[in-house]
Amino acid sequence: MDEGRELFDVAVIGGGPTGMTAALALAAAGLQVALVAPAAGADPRTTALLKGSVDLLTSLGVWSDAEAAAAPLRTMRIVDDTGRLVRAPEAVFDAVEAGSETFGFNIPNDALNAALSRAVDRAANLARVPAKADAIVPGASRVAVDAGPWRLAARLVVAADGAASATREAAGIAVRSWQYRQTALVTTLSHAAAHHDASTEFHTPAGPFTLVPLPGRRSSLVWVERPDVAERLAALDDAALSAAIERRAHSILGAMCVDGPRGLLPLAGHVAVRFADRRVALVGEAAHRFPPIGAQGLNLGLRDVAVLARTLARARAEDPGDDAVLAAYDRGRRGDVTMRTAAVDLFDRSLLTDFLPVQVARAAGLYLAGRVGPIRRFAMRQGLGPATPLVGWR
């Protein structure tokens, strides 16, 4: 099968933020890596990277090149704006209480992807294959990958090709998927008042409306609404959309002015039934997807990467695609992914329901997280994200 194919320890399929980080982490650990990825397209989103993710990017030499575009997140505020009978009091979390200067940093996805791409260009042991993978064929000892004119083989393939992952399908891994009748409108804006490094998540009956700081008097917006409402908002001119955002934000940041491109992202959820099989390991949205609540998605994907690198290093096996290594990776990710997916799903659905007992439970949960010391500290530690240090492979 390897005839005419260049052989790598690992081929990472997909050059989004998870794929590029995976390629860097595994190459830094001493594996020979191919990154099979066409150039990333523009992305209007920003990502709130929690401390564990920033530490990972720092250890890979990416963060020093990216941080000028990022704003620190020192305070996180959750406001119950459901207008319902049972409402939670406002919950405010300060990073200093959790023993850290910041919860993390918010960065435009384009700036993060550009810094990752420069790091890929500088990295040793890492070859970029600038094409989409057209065929991925797992075999007993290798996976064959065809990408445009390139033909390669790898002992392990990392599927980082996003929600509709063809690599996952090639490995025969099914997903449990579900839909939300919600669409996220994303953009960036400038505003009159300072944000003081605080993000604010308003919980509305249609979903979260979240303002996250960017450098200066600017913020990014994720406004989750019913699909028809989101489409109507996205069609407004800049002045009308700015006014609608300011109204929804109760003018907490004063007058607002939309200053970035807009994106409409329909929300959906899925989780893979296995995170690895047949020499293929899933990371990022190839493995899990859920609504943008509490800045979890990419942070979870970067933890996939750190755990995969650590699992390979610990196994010290000659073959990184070995069944035992893949089983250990699957076990290593199951709890974190299942817990976060269920929590975000439950929280989102609890906003949408009119069922009073669920509203009471949600309000009580927020009250406890905001007011009761041990639960509050637990919530903040979860916000910082579990640390997953990298260790070397060879």
**Beta strand pairing status for 207-214 and 218-225?**
antiparallel
Q: Residue 148 CA to chain centroid, in angstroms? A: 28
* Identity of the residue, 147 or 366, whose beta carbon is nearer to ligand FAD in the bound complex: 147
Distances (CA, A) of 338 to 62, 270, 291, 344, 370: 29, 11, 14, 10, 24
Lay out the site mask for ligand FAD across 339-378 (x = CB under 6 A, - = otherwise): ----------------------------------------
352: tokens are: 């949408």
How many residues bind ligand FAD, per CB under 6 A? Answer: 33
Q: Which of these, 220, 12, 209, 11, lies nearest to 110 by C-alpha position?
A: 220
Does 292 help bind ligand FAD (rule: CB under 6 A)? yes
Q: Which residue has the tokens 């090639």?
A: 170
State how far the Cα of 182 lies from the Cα of 268, in Å rounded to an integer.
8
Residue 290 C-beta: closest distance to ligand FAD, Å: 8
Q: Which stretch binds ligand FAD (CB under 6 A): 72-80, 291-299, 356-364, 383-391?
A: 291-299
**Which residues in 179-218 are b (16+ Cβ under 10 Å) and which e?**
ebebbbbbbbbbbeeebebbbbbbbbebbbbbbbbbeeeb
Task: Rule CB under 6 A: choose which of 9, 10, 28, 47 binds ligand FAD.
Answer: 47
Lay out the site mask for ligand FAD across 4-43 (x = CB under 6 A, - = otherwise): ---------xxxxxxx----------------xxx-x---
Residue 199 C-beta: closest distance to ligand FAD, Å: 9
State how far the Cα of 52 lies from the Cα of 302, in Å rounded to an integer.
9
26: tokens are: 């595994």
* Identity of the residue, 102 or 299, whose beta carbon is nearer to ligand FAD in the bound complex: 299
Our CA dihedral for 355, 360, 363, 369, rounded to 10 degrees, sits at -130
* Identity of the residue, 132 or 377, whose beta carbon is nearer to ligand FAD in the bound complex: 132
* Identity of the residue, 248 or 363, whose beta carbon is nearer to ligand FAD in the bound complex: 248
Does 299 help bind ligand FAD (rule: CB under 6 A)? yes
Does 298 help bind ligand FAD (rule: CB under 6 A)? yes
Task: Rule CB under 6 A: choose which of 213, 284, 321, 370 binds ligand FAD.
Answer: 284
* Identity of the residue, 123 or 147, whose beta carbon is nearer to ligand FAD in the bound complex: 147
State how far the Cα of 129 lies from the Cα of 5, in Å rounded to an integer.
13
Binding site for ligand FAD (CB under 6 A): 13-19, 36-38, 40, 45, 47-48, 132-133, 160-162, 166, 184, 186, 222, 265, 284-285, 292, 295-299, 301
